[in-house]
Structure 1
Amino acid sequence: MAASRVILQSDFNSALRDKDGKAWISYKCQGKDSIHSYLKTTELSESRIPYVSSSDGFSVQSVSERRIDINFENDGESLRRTFIAPAMTFSSIHKERKSVHCMDVTLGGLGVSSDSEGRLKVWESGSGDVRRDLEGHFGDVYTCQFFPSGIVILTGGADMQLKIWSAETGQCAATLRGHKAGILETAIVDRGRNIVSCARDGTSRLWDCSTQQCLVTVETEGGNVNCCTLQATPPDYDLGTQSHTPGEQEVGTAGKLLLLGCERGYLQGYGLQTRQKVFELDCHDAVNCCRFVSETCVACGTQDGHITITDIRNIRMPLREWKETRNAILSILPYKGGFFTSTGDGSCFYVDQSQETVLELCGADCDPVYRAVSDGAAVYTACRDGLIRKYQSADIDQCLQL
């Protein structure tokens, strides 16, 4: 099923700020003619926030410095969308303007990001000031994230190595080797005694950080394992039969479900401690990202632009599956009951608990948005244009009425 979309010029907030400002807007839906129009500034208030008039079925419900609410009504179709501009744009973190492939932020005010030339940067999330470079990987770094402490960083990349870093000193404390191809994503078990990785060698591995040893290897037979995520399940959820006794190096794996998104189009679930495959969901195309959005609800996105929301208790009957973009789904960020989805066409939109799209984060002009992350106070996006954009949660939550 294809969803209708309202698309607004990415820099609408600056385009409409001046007198006689203009920003393009479009309605698109598969199987219907697209409708293109403009929003035009007709007068300026004393606060220099523009009042906007429109036509062709579009109407502006409200507008502020970084937000605009649009209604579209035409031929029986009625849509409402909110568009939010970034509060800050960081251009000096990756000065060479190389694609920012991965990113994470912590409650302690730090961010970490990697670009298309393998540079790893630690920076202040409030100002974007770079504090240090992390040097030690060879080639691209595909994944970076903070441990729950907020002062330790886990990375993995094309060199088939996982590295654990001190965010305070920039020193590499440990290197974990064992994958036979590039590492694409990681997940941290509880506070981080154990971690999980997935890679282009078709495997996912459970590691002990203290000894740098691989404790178990899961062979998926699904091609590249593009993504992974973990979640504690309800007590009555069947994770398979335990056939071994975990060693003392394995900590916190009981009751955890490991999700793996595979290149061959499958979302697979495994009991992390039982090592048993619990389910396999056919998603029709390569699964690029997957995340739990609640204890039992999972969202995943595919290379052909589909989003699937399903309940792990009834995996074969998805709650909803639809296509809202003409490009790949690249990341999913759980956020206050719903989730943000970033895509290969520059979109980053929010899907609420009713599985409806209600708002979009603007700024990227058709460049892929590779990752969206949050520290609770703001949402950050990493883009091919080399920029990291910061959106205030207060702006978002006001729209969501949270």
Structure 2
Amino acid sequence: MVSRSGRIILQADWNYVLKENGEKVWISFKTLNNPIIHGELHSDGVSSHGVPLVTGSESFNVQHITKNTITVTYKDGIGEYTRKFVAPQQEYSAIHNSRKSVASLDVTPGGLGVSADSEGKLKVWETSNGIVRRDLKGHLGDVYTCKFFPSGVVVLSGGADMQLKVWSAETGQCAANIIGHKAAILDTVIIERGRNILSCSKDGTVKLWDVGQQSCLYTYEECGGNVNCCSIGVPNRNVDLGQPETITSDREVQTEGKLLLIGTETGSIQGYGLQSRRKVFDLPCHGAVNCCCILSENAAVCGTQDGYITVLDLRNIRVPLKEWKESRSAILSFSTHNNGFFVSTGDGSCFFVNELCNTTTELTGADCDHIYKVVCDNTHVYTGCRDGLVRKYSCSQAGL
């Protein structure tokens, strides 16, 4: 069943504009297949505490406002809709000073970030101030994925040159170069501590690698087209992952009991027993699957190029828990947080979906530019955008 939910949309730079007395920003309310309702928020000055005094037109009402957040309600004849908007705590423009698109991004709780831009530049930087500490040079062409190993001092990257590279974030040196894919690498997964990794590619395969020997342990080949994304998790015991038909290599570590989730360009979300290699399910989606994530032992989520979000029940994959189209554009990435997840999209919106699959909070700042990646370290959220900026948001300010 497809849920038709309303969405409140606010001007991206509202937090700057509303500081000035007499200024206004646009605000809209949109539901699928219905006309957009337009309104305005007007600034009536600033309180003694430095907080803007704001009123809304039409059926828009400001419930609460601080320097970096604003909560707005819209009422119509059907119901009441509320959304909290959160402005960036910091914007880092000097990490990728070419101002090219930030294509991939990851952070560690230890204070380091890594990101790649559309010129193939891969950089390690401090999350507290955006100062670049290392340039990781060696890829030929665009880098589509970069992630930290659990240690927080080693980086995995992959891209258009069909190579996986393992880097020291401390020295900037490449410690391993893994070759085997026949087309661009689009996504990766690090298994447990990182002795094994997974990569998916435009060549239509997912490969399981032994990092130490830089060798392929297994190739999942029956994916049916470009594999855009992958994720792993430990599902409920009632999910039958199958048993290995052959004895696995002693170089394969901690793959038992894990589900491999992949999304394809041909529009399917598929699940495999990571160790058994058995295909557990193959579910058609609305369009090309750009991103996927296992949320818990019972649930997973995927997002499509045509803007649909589908939450899956891993115990009964035939019927989605919920499916809806909230964005005007493609769903590009997910990041889990507490009992929900952040979603980034191709229209500049980035929002949080809670455990009830309700959208409660939206991160602002990107003005209709693709947000290619969102990541969360439990205290802050970071986004990588087509406008070349890395934005940092406070989870506590967002109330998450």
TM-score, normalization by structure 1: 0.98
SS at match of 1:14: helix
* 2:308 corresponds to: 306
Matched, 1:296 2:284: no
Query: Corresponding residue for 1:281?
Result: 283
Which residue is equivalent to 1:12?
A: 14
Alignment of 1:326-345 (within 5 A): 326-345=328-347
Distance 1:318 1:235 in 2: 19
Tell me, yes or no, if the aligned pair for 2:235 and 2:296 is still in contact at 8 Å. Answer: no
How many pairs align? 398
Give the 5 Å matches for 1:219-368. 219-368=221-370
Task: Work out the CA distance in 2 between the residues paired with 1:282 and 1:113.
Answer: 32
CA deviation vs aligned residue, 1:343-388 (integer Å, no higher than 9, x gap): 0000001111111111100000000000000122200000000000
The 10-residue stretch of structure 1 (226-235 or 53-62) with the greater mean CA deviation from structure 2? 226-235
| Greater alpha carbon shift after TM alignment, 259-268 vs 228-237 | 228-237
Match of 2:159? 157
Q: 1:7 and 1:158 mapped to 2: Cα distance? A: 35
Q: Verify: 1:390 aligned to 2:400, yes or no.
A: no
CA–CA distance in 2 between the matches of 1:236 and 1:71?
A: 42
Shift of 1:48: 2.0
Q: Deviations over 1:146-199 (max 9, x none)?
A: 000000000000000000000000000001100000000000111000000000
For the residue of structure 1 that corresponds to 2:49, the secondary structure is coil
Residues 30, 37 of structure 2: 8 Å contact kept? yes
What is the CA–CA distance in structure 2 between the aligned matches of 1:263 and 1:12, rounded to whole Å? 36
Offset at 1:75?
2.2
Looking at structure 1, the residues matched to 23 and 296 of structure 2 have their Cα atoms a distance apart, in angstroms, of: 42
Residue of 378, 382, 386 corresponding to 2:380: 378
Provide the secondary structure at the position in 1 that maps to 2:315.
helix
Rounded to whole Å, the distance in 1 between the matches of 2:243 and 2:284 is 24
**1:192 equivalent among 191, 194, 197:** 194
For 1:329, give the aligned amino acid.
I
* 2:89 alignment partner AA: A
Letter in 1 for 2:159: G
1: CA distance between counterparts of 2:76 and 2:57?
11
Q: Which runs of 5+ in 2 are unaligned?
A: none
Distance across 1 between alignment mates of 2:265 and 2:36: 32
Secondary structure of 1:395 counterpart: helix
Mapping for residues 14-53 of structure 1, pairs under 5 Å:
14-53=16-55
CA distance in 1, matches of 2:324, 2:278: 30
Identify unmatched segments of 5+ residues in structure 1.
none
Deviations 1:249-292 (A, max 9, x none): 00011001000100000000001100000011111210000011
TM-score, L = length of structure 2: 0.98
- Tell me how far apart the structure 1 counterparts of residues 120 and 200 of structure 2 sit (CA, whole Å): 19
% identical equivalent positions: 55
Please tell me the root mean square deviation across aligned C-alpha atoms, in Å.
0.9
